[in-house]
């Protein structure tokens, strides 16, 4: 399984590092992935899918198997909503929702969920 991520503020990148994953970074959205992958993303604005992630998914959705999403509970109902939107659009599960870069408990739970 491959892992692909987008990180603007560093929270998702920090989570990737905590998990010890060798992951492909989405910078512009023009990147490609020809293998099955789990997407790690942040939530933009008030529950929006980041623009570069949206562009990436348009070309690479057929290999998407699930999404892990970061957000801030300060946004209330919009917390991690990008993951919910991606899951609905591409019929994949939200594997985990994490606040910012996650706690040690989140890392342990994610490792179990991803079978790492």
Q: What is the pTM of this model?
A: 0.96
Give dist(CA 31, CA 47) in Å, integer.
23
**pLDDT number for residue 101:** 96
Q: Would you call 61 exposed, middle or buried from its count of C-beta atoms within 10 A (0-12, 13-18, 19+)? A: middle
Give the C-alpha distances (Å, rounded to integers) separating 20 from 17, 31, 74, 87.
Answer: 5, 22, 28, 24
pLDDT digits (tens, 9 = 90+) for 62-109: 999 999 999 999 998 999 999 999 999 999 999 999 999 999 999 999
- Give me 27's structure tokens: 């910078």
């Amino acid at each position: 399984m491959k892992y692909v991520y987008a990180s603007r503020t560093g929270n998702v990148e920090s989570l990737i590092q905590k998990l010890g994953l060798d992951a492909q970074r989405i910078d512009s959205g023009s990147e490609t992935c020809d293998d099955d992958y789990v997407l790690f993303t942040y939530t933009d604005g008030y529950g929006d899918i980041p623009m570069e992630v949206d562009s990436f998914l348009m070309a690479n959705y057929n290999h998407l198997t699930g999404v892990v999403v970061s957000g801030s509970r300060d946004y209330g109902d919009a917390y991690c909503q990008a993951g919910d939107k991606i899951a609905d659009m591409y019929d994949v599960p939200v594997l985990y929702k994490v606040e910012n870069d996650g706690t040690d408990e989140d890392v342990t739970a994610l490792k179990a969920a991803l079978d790492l």
